Amino acid sequence: MSDARFIDTGVNYNISREYITPSLSRQYSTVRSFDSGTRKCYLLKSLVPGWKYLIRATFLYGNYDGLNKSVMFDLHNGVNFWKSINISDPVVPVIAEVIMVATANYVNVCLVNTDGGTPFISSLDLRPLQNSLYPLANSTQSLSVVKHLNAGNRYYHNQKAFLDFITYSKLTEDKEMGKYLDMTCETGEYGSREEINLTAVTPVNYSVLEFYWDLSPFDKSFSYWFALHFSEIQLLAQNQSRSFNVTVNDVMVFEKPYSPPYLLIDALYVSIMNAIKGKYQIKRNWAGDPCAPKTYIWDGLTCNYVLSTSPRITALNLASSGLIGDFTTLFSELKALQSLNLSHNDLRGPIPDVLSQLASLIVLDLTGNQLNGTIPDGLLKRSQAGSLTLRFVQCDQKKHKGSTRVIIFLVPVIVIVILVGIVLLLCQLRKRQDLSQAGSKVDLIGLKNRHFTYTELVSITNGFERILGIGGFGITREFLAEAKILARIHHKFLVSIIGYCKDGNCVALVYEYMSEGTLDEHIQGNLTPFTWRQRIRIATESAQGLEYLHKGCNPPLIHRDVKMNNILLNANLEAKIADFGLSKALPSDTQSHITTLVAGTHGYLDPEYHMTSQLTEKSDVYSFGVVLLELITGQKAIIRAPNHGSENTHIVQ
């Protein structure tokens, strides 16, 4: 693009022909020179105040004026000094980069004559950045890039990434200080990997790897920030790990040794998620960056935010999302993934073996798809070892016909009937034993989840430091009822079970981590209050979870204890219904109610259910209505009387 729209002074020149080669980038073949005046400025418009931008200016002298002499001048970003440009070699380009936050809808880039020669410029780039990048850049502080260094010992010229035309200098050294590693990798469905991240350096003989940076040419009053990029490019065995300390001027950067995840390359997750979106034609709020900013995180994602790195996707929930087609290997590229829920879709074909390489994966739910073939050995072994919760139950395949399929269907049915008969006989013989010993183990094995010991639970919860609530009904019976229900329900707005504990007298279910606690803690507690938009979203998500219990389950389920304390929030403030210990299933989807003993929480209990003992879906709807009133008003279900002896007031009154 011509720069004539952005400046109205200066003269264009071609560089000397002797410096034009086939490998020379087109941007370096011409310059704009300013031989009169002290300061000449480009005006770059259409910026968005508050957005983060990269400005890159390049300079290649190329003896354009025939004088063949060195040139020095200053570069300013608006009214702020940016960098002194010193050009002594006519064929070596000088690149100046600054990362800034726009304070207006325009910015000036100025060349200032300092009597060191005529200022000139080869090209000027302005590019928006993700606001999550470079957190130290803000409206009062810009970052000027000093150097790009590739530790993989090769020159690299990136022409495809969004930071085009950056030359990474190779690591120069006076002695052998490291050995160099390369990684050969096929291109995925989303395009090629960034080559710069597929090379690395390691110290020789486990010694210290030291980098020296000469700052003598730079202003000592400036602060300097190092952006270090790590990725594990060798697939380590499960009993192996790589960890090391990182220091700058003998000061520890991390509190403990750092271990880079396998091939976790920053910013690739954006391309991966867009490729997944395109393959399955996902229609959600999936636009822009999947994880940033936090308020616009993509639906179904959980991201981990660490100040020194780009966000990492740790959970992906695409349950009941209408995914159709083969099981793509793209999911295996999300290296920080801990939970992957693809249940109740129409995925077909084999399960990709590369999922075994997701070292952080602890939950994989493939229930209700049309997958075939065997479960990959790597996943199966991890599931059997208890390090992976694997759910894999196929959809009903009644539509398939043929004698071969009938035989294949009958054989497992006969086996199941025999096994059921044996189980019933054993249960009859042992019916006088304690209920917790009689049923818990069989039921829990069916969940195929990780078995935690009591000691592990104490350690994980820091001695049960944070208690969300205490139940008021039969512990063992409630536990077994909830285990049976959780074995067959899966929805993005219902909490997922990760494991269980049956250790002596300890009987417990282990749910996914919901870092923001209960809805009650936010509405009634001292935490930051929600905006109206957040409250509406939480109400909608909770309603969808409740609707799934009533309409999506066969037979329908009635929760019986919908309340603020049973709606949990994850790190993205995504609401999920929890605690199914009191839930009841209707005998069939045609029966409107069942008669049962009244159970629930005071203040949320449906008056009609309380009077008639007839439990219906409307009982949950009433309880949810109380939750909505609390969410809107900030009041409790039972409003305590201000004076002793006065009657309390219910929120609906």
Encode 261-290 in three state secondary structure: CECCCCCHHHHHHHHHHHHHCCCCCCCCCC
Number of helices followed by number of strands (H, E) in the chain: 10, 37
Rounded to an integer, what distance in angstroms lies between the CA atom of residue 62 and that of residue 31?
9
pLDDT winner (highest mean) among 284-293, 322-331, 438-447: 322-331
- Given the residues 289, 365, 443, 561, the one annotated as active site: 561
Look at residue 363 and give its three-state secondary structure.
Answer: strand
Average pLDDT (294-300) is 84
Query: What per-residue confidence (pLDDT) applies to 63?
Result: 95
What percentage of residues in the chain have a pLDDT greater than 70?
A: 73
Residue 123 has pLDDT above 90, yes or no: yes
Average pLDDT (577-582) is 82
Query: What per-residue confidence (pLDDT) applies to 478?
Result: 52
Burial class (CB in 10 A: 0-12, 13-18, 19+), 484: middle
Query: What per-residue confidence (pLDDT) applies to 417?
Result: 53
Query: What per-residue confidence (pLDDT) applies to 575?
Result: 92
Query: What per-residue confidence (pLDDT) applies to 184?
Result: 39
Mean pLDDT score of the chain: 77
pLDDT tens digits, 43-94: 999 999 889 999 999 999 999 999 999 999 999 998 888 999 999 999 999 9
Domains, in order of start, for the chain: 11-145 (2.60.120), 171-255 (no CATH), 268-391 (3.80.10.10), 407-511 (3.30.200.20), 519-650 (1.10.510.10)
Least confidently predicted of 375-384, 439-448, 469-478, 570-579: 439-448
Least confidently predicted of 39-43, 142-146, 260-264, 508-512: 260-264
Rounded to an integer, what distance in angstroms lies between the CA atom of residue 207 and that of residue 179?
11
CB atoms within 10 A of CB 150: 20
Return the higher-pLDDT residue of 132 and 179. 132
Residues 6+ apart with CB under 8 A from 7: 32, 40, 41, 42, 43
Would residue 520 show up in a list of annotated catalytic residues for this protein? no
What's CA 649's distance to the chain center, in Å? 44
Rounded to an integer, what distance in angstroms lies between the CA atom of residue 548 and that of residue 566?
16
Asked if residue 393 lies in contact with residue 368, where contact means CB atoms within 8 angstroms, the answer is yes
Query: What per-residue confidence (pLDDT) applies to 428?
Result: 56
Which of 599, 590, 533, 526 is closest to 561 using CA atoms? Answer: 599
Residue 314 has pLDDT above 60, yes or no: yes
